[in-house]
A = this chain, B = another copy of it.
Amino acid sequence: MTVSKTAVDLAKASRSSRKEPAAAVAESTALQMGELSELLGYSLKRAQLKVFEDFLRCVAPLQLTPAQFSVLLLLDRNPGRNQTEIANTLGILRPNFVAMLDGLESRDLCARMRSANDRRSHILALTDKGRAVLARAKKLVAAKHEARLNELLGSANRAALLAMLARIACEF
């Protein structure tokens, strides 16, 4: 019994009391977002979902997720590294990185090679096919995905946005 009387009244009247003013008012008016519009985390999350969604669309012909793309990028720029190093810099836990690598390796995009110095670790390397796929992915991302963001925000704004996001990601 902790619901206020006004809430009970609203339950009785519900939305029907809103039919009165005009004739054919569009029923079910848009909800008020209230303080939600000021919550940075909320917009951050929704923007992130949209951006990932667009990424998947743009790079769909190559069947690459954002996470997979980031792995390929890292492998290309950092040859000779092992699973732990790659996973750590991407914020992926080692156990979860195993299945991810299995997927990439089964598609012949990268390869695990036992290190001669430390026979525990697997040195990761892109295959030729991996390099080719990465190159095509980069082009798709630049031409379709990032280009669309640039179009929406403008180049300067996009750079400012990226700088602030990187700031939050690193220093927060």
Interface residue ranges, A against B (CB under 8 Å): 2-4, 6-8, 10-16, 28, 30-52, 54-55, 66, 70, 73-74, 76-81, 85-86, 89, 91, 108, 111, 113-118, 123, 125-130, 138, 141, 145-146, 148-149, 152-153, 157-158, 160-162, 164-169, 171-172
Contact = CB atoms under 8 A, between A and B. Distances in A.
Q: Would you call the interface of chain A mostly helix, strand, loop, or mixed?
A: helix
Contact of A14 (B3, B48, B108, B118): B118
A34 B77 contact: yes
Contacts of A16: 117
A100 B2 CA distance: 20
Contacts of A6: 79
12 contacts: A7-B79, A7-B125, A11-B114, A12-B116, A13-B117, A33-B77, A36-B73, A41-B52, A42-B70, A43-B165, A46-B165, A152-B167
6 tightest A-B CB contacts, nearest first: A34-B77, A10-B80, A7-B125, A46-B169, A2-B127, A43-B165
Given A11-B115, A149-B168, A162 B38 contact: yes
B50 A48 contact: no
A39 to B, nearest CB: 7
Nearest to A41: B51
A48 B45 CA distance: 6
A73 to B, nearest CB: 5
A70 B32 CA distance: 12
Given A32-B78, A35-B138, A85-B31, A45 B40 contact: no
